C-alpha cells in the first residue's frame, strides 16, 4: 500500500524532481489576438446563442479540460479573450468545476481513448487550435499510459487533420527522452516509467506529432506543483532539463502564450521555475529556442 501511494504521488506531482521556490512571480506581459466584439440580447443565453458567440472569437479546443493543468489552461484562455471548447468525459462534473455560465465556454464530451472519429466530432469545425493536457490516471492497468498518453494523443492529432486544425499544443514532461540524455539511473526517470513506461509512451507520441506536419509546440514541464508561482519561468531546448519544478499555473500560461507568438512554432521547450531566474517575455523565451 505504501508503494502504491508513493507511485501515485510521483505521477501526479513528479515529486522526485520538485524543488520549492520562495519568491513571487512578477507580472508577465501578454499579447492578445484581435477579437471581434460579440453581441448578446436578453438575460438567458441559449445554446444557439452560445454557438453564435463562439463564432466571433478565436476558438481553442482543450483536451483534458478538467484536469489539474487543463482547468488552468481553460481559465487562462478565457481571461485572454479566447472562446473555449472544453473536451471532458463528464459534462456534469465539468459544470461544477467551471461555474458562472461563461458564454464563451462550451463543454463537449470527449475521451481521447475512443479514437479520432469521435474526437473529430467533438472538435467540430472552425477551430483555431487544440491544446492537449491529458494524462492517465494511476492504476494497475499497465496499458493505461499508452491508451491516454500515446494512442490518445495520436488520435487527437488525427482528429485535427480531419477537422483541418493546424495548430497543436501538447503538455508533456521533462525526461521523456531520459535514456538519450544519460538519465537512465535518474530516480524520476525510473519511477515515472514503473507503471506502463509512461515517459516512453509520451516520447513516442511526441515523435508522431513532429512527423505529422502539424504546426506544433511541445511543452515539457518539470515537476508539477499545485502551489501558486514562486519564481520566473526558465525555458530550455529539448533534452536539457532533468530536475526542477514549476507551478501548473505557469505551465498553463506557457501553453496559452505559445498560441500568441510564432516564435513558438515547431518547437519543443522544457520549462521549470527558478527564484533567481530573470524575468523575460514569452516572445524572448520562445525566440531563444532553436527549431530542430
Whether 79 is in a domain gets the answer yes
Indicate if the pLDDT at residue 28 is higher than 80: no
Whether 85 is in a domain gets the answer yes
* Grid cell 492517465 in the structure block, residue: 136
Lowest model confidence (mean pLDDT) among 46-55, 99-108, 237-246, 269-278:
46-55
Q: List the CATH number of the domain containing 148.
A: 3.40.50.720
CB hemisphere CA count around 28 (13 angstroms):
24
CA distance 54 to 200: 37
Whether 37 is in a domain gets the answer no
Whether 130 is in a domain gets the answer yes
Whether 36 is in a domain gets the answer no
Whether 292 is in a domain gets the answer no
Mean pLDDT of 48-63: 70
Lowest model confidence (mean pLDDT) among 15-29, 198-212, 241-255, 257-271:
15-29
Whether 39 is in a domain gets the answer no
Whether 38 is in a domain gets the answer no
Q: What is the pLDDT of residues 86-133, one digit of tens each?
A: 999 999 999 999 988 899 999 999 999 999 999 999 999 999 999 999
CA distance 12 to 207: 23
Indicate if the pLDDT at residue 19 is higher than 80: no
For the chain, the residue count is 292
* Residues spanned by the domain of 170: 2-26+46-287
Overall domain count for the chain? 1
Q: Where are the alpha helices (DSSP H) in the chain?
A: 2-13, 47-55, 70-79, 91-97, 116-123, 144-145, 153-162, 187-192, 198-212, 248-257, 282-287
Q: What is the pLDDT of residue 136?
A: 79
CA angle 248, 32, 259 (to 5 degrees): 55
Q: Calculate what percentage of the chain has a pLDDT beyond 90.
A: 73
Mean pLDDT of 260-265: 98
Mean pLDDT of 61-87: 98
Lowest model confidence (mean pLDDT) among 131-140, 183-192, 279-288:
131-140
The residue that leads in pLDDT, 213 or 141, is: 213
Q: What is the pLDDT of residue 143?
A: 83
Amino acid at each position: 500500500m505504501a508503494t502504491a501511494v508513493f507511485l501515485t504521488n510521483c505521477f501526479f506531482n513528479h515529486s522526485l524532481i520538485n524543488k520549492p521556490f520562495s519568491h513571487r512571480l512578477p507580472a508577465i506581459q501578454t499579447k492578445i489576438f484581435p477579437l471581434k466584439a460579440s453581441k448578446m440580447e436578453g438575460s438567458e443565453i441559449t445554446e444557439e446563442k452560445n454557438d453564435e458567440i463562439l463564432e466571433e472569437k478565436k476558438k481553442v479546443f482543450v483536451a483534458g479540460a478538467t484536469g489539474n493543468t487543463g482547468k488552468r489552461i481553460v481559465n487562462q484562455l478565457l481571461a485572454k479573450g479566447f472562446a473555449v471548447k472544453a473536451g471532458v468525459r463528464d459534462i456534469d462534473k465539468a459544470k461544477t468545476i467551471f461555474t458562472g455560465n461563461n458564454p464563451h465556454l462550451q463543454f463537449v464530451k470527449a475521451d481521447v481513448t475512443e479514437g479520432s472519429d469521435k474526437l473529430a466530432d467533438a472538435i467540430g469545425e472552425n477551430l483555431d487550435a487544440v491544446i492537449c493536457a491529458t494524462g492517465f490516471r494511476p492504476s494497475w492497468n499497465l496499458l493505461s499510459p499508452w491508451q491516454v498518453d500515446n494512442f490518445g494523443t495520436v488520435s487527437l492529432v488525427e482528429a485535427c487533420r480531419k477537422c483541418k486544425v493546424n495548430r497543436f499544443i501538447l503538455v508533456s514532461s521533462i525526461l521523456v527522452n531520459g535514456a538519450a540524455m544519460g538519465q537512465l539511473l535518474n530516480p524520476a526517470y525510473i519511477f515515472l516509467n514503473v507503471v506502463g513506461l509512461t515517459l516512453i509512451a509520451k516520447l513516442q507520441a511526441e515523435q508522431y506529432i513532429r512527423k505529422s506536419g502539424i504546426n506544433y509546440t511541445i511543452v515539457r514541464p518539470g515537476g508539477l506543483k499545485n502551489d501558486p508561482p514562486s519564481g520566473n519561468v526558465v525555458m530550455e531546448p529539448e533534452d536539457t532539463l532533468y530536475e526542477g519544478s514549476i507551478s501548473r499555473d505557469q505551465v498553463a500560461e506557457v501553453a496559452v502564450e505559445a498560441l500568441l507568438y510564432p516564435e513558438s512554432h515547431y518547437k519543443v521547450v522544457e520549462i521549470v521555475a527558478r527564484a533567481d531566474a530573470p524575468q523575460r517575455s514569452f516572445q524572448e523565451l520562445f525566440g531563444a529556442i532553436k527549431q530542430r
